[in-house]
Amino acid sequence: MRLIMLGAPGAGKGTQAKRIADKYTIPHISTGDIFRANIKNETELGMKAKTYMDKGLLVPDDLVVDIVADRLNQRDCDKGFILDGFPRTIPQAKALDEALQVMDITLDYVINVDVPDEAIVKRMAGRRACSVCGATYHLKHNPPKKEDQCDVCHGTLIQRDDDKEETVLKRLTVYHEQTKPLIDYYTKKDELVTVDGTRDIDLVTEEIIRLLGD
């Protein structure tokens, strides 16, 4: 099963990607994780990416695609993968298509987790993260056992800057400008399936599995 997960920030695509990866025993591939791993291991691609990141510059699309393609070439991807957070733009999607063609890999589905902006702003406002171990919670949907305290390490829970309304609205603006056009792009390629991400997490997972045919 070879998949791409799309959705606005806060739509829950990361959570669903992890669940689908576990269901089909395929790696959940986040570009952030790939970058960190390459930089930590001081690979040639990682060092190239680091030169841009250290200057506060965006890593060029062709280098990002090279790093993603290198990850997809690893043995654990033989039975499939789920890409989370990439591609983010039409140029990246086209470059990924070319790379997959060279690798003789065909995507099965692109899953779009659809949540309206106003629901995302409310959802993100309830998010909390542990200041020590990074574990995440939601005041309504996944509350900690003890208020403002992490269940795992008992660290203090905080609201990250990324989850504050002003920041969320800015991130959504970027999403609509750069990433949302991918919905039309993959629809025209007949690869897109859309699920209603406003419902209970388990129901969203069940619908995705149904749409994937299992």
DSSP string, the chain: -EEEEEE-TTSSHHHHHHHHHHHHT--EEEHHHHHHHHHHTT-HHHHHHHHHHTTTPPPPHHHHHHHHHHHHTSGGGTT-EEEES---SHHHHHHHHHHHHHTT----EEEEEE--HHHHHHHHHTEEEETTT--EEETTTB--SBTTB-TTT-PBEE--GGGSHHHHHHHHHHIIIIITHHHHHHHHTT-EEEEETTS-HHHHHHHHHHHTT-
Just list the catalytic residues: 13, 88, 127, 160, 171
CA angle 190, 25, 35 (to 5 degrees): 80
